Amino acid sequence: MSAALSAVPRAFGIVRSNPILLVGAVLFGVIGLVGAVLSIIPLLGVVLAQVLVLPVALVGLTEMTDSAAADDDASLGDFAHGIADNAVSAIGAFALLFGAQLAIGITLTLAIVFIVGVSVTGAGPGTDPTSTLTGGGAIGALLFLVLIVALVTLALVQQFLDVAVVVGDRGAVAALGEAKDILVEGPLSVLGYALLRFGIILVAVGIPAAAAAGVGAVGAGRESGGLLAIAAVVLLLAGPVAIAVATAYHVAYYRTRRSDELDDASPDGSAGRTTPSRDPLN
């Protein structure tokens, strides 16, 4: 849990020292819009958005943020380099995890339907249909709980795929193992991290949104176009600020958890960035 807490001030410091990360967050949002449009396509759209578009956006912003965290010198070139160097590995990792999520979801769902169906129709003569239905329902509920736990666990693993690829210099398969290790080695720390990251996003968006709503209400009451414009600008800035701070926290947390490894990887003993040297798929 200490890693989750200690990464918070570092995250705000990263963004404060590198305001260009807000531009990177805007680029992330633009790429995200492409994914949102693709997701409209039935069936295939969601796969394209989750497996192709999201990883590309993530590695671009993560590389830019890691540059800021490592040597306090982020640039938009880092965003492009992040995509060029890491997109294949990230797409591979997300595709593998998506396949696992799909397989687990389909298997457990079919098992639930089968068990509940058998309990409803399979009661033979001399058996109590109520007890059969209750037993089948209990097993179905248990399997549903297993499904939820499995999907939540995979979601917790998924959130570290981008940093495992970009900061940890892992290929697709190794990134899955690294993301899993982050969770297994410190489950309470990861839960604390996830809650704090949600809180950071909530504060970064909620406070400006509340302020914008107040300014907008005053502007509407006074019929002031200037106040309404200010409210609109505040709302437009809230999203990039939230994305930038959340990503900085994401990178800072991973660097804190893997500080010894990253120190060893740097020739001068500092926690600097490393040039990708991995097999993109392994």
What does the alpha-carbon distance between residue 223 and residue 213 come to, in Å, rounded to a whole number? 15
What does the alpha-carbon distance between residue 184 and residue 27 come to, in Å, rounded to a whole number? 33
How many other CB atoms are found less than 10 A from the CB of residue 179?
A: 26
Task: Output the pLDDT for position 267.
Answer: 44
Which string of DSSP letters, residue by residue, matches 142-207?
HHHHHHHHHHHHHHHHHTTHHHHHHTT---HHHHHHHHHHHHHH-HHHHHHHHHHHHHHHHHHHHH
Task: Output the pLDDT for position 269.
Answer: 43
User: Any idea what the Cα angle at residue 58 is, between residues 69 and 85, rounded to 5°?
Assistant: 80
Task: Output the pLDDT for position 268.
Answer: 46
pLDDT by residue (tens digit) across 116-164? 676 666 555 555 555 555 666 677 778 888 888 988 999 999 999 999 9
Compare 227 and 64 and report the one with higher pLDDT: 64
Q: Enter the tokens of residue 157.
A: 């693993």
Task: Output the pLDDT for position 134.
Answer: 62
Q: Is the pLDDT of residue 225 over 90?
A: no
Q: Is the pLDDT of residue 65 over 80?
A: yes
Question: What is the mean pLDDT of the segment spanning 37-47?
Answer: 88
Q: Is the pLDDT of residue 273 over 70?
A: no
User: What's the mean pLDDT when you consider all of the chain?
Assistant: 82
Q: Is the pLDDT of residue 60 over 70?
A: yes
The reported pTM is 0.81
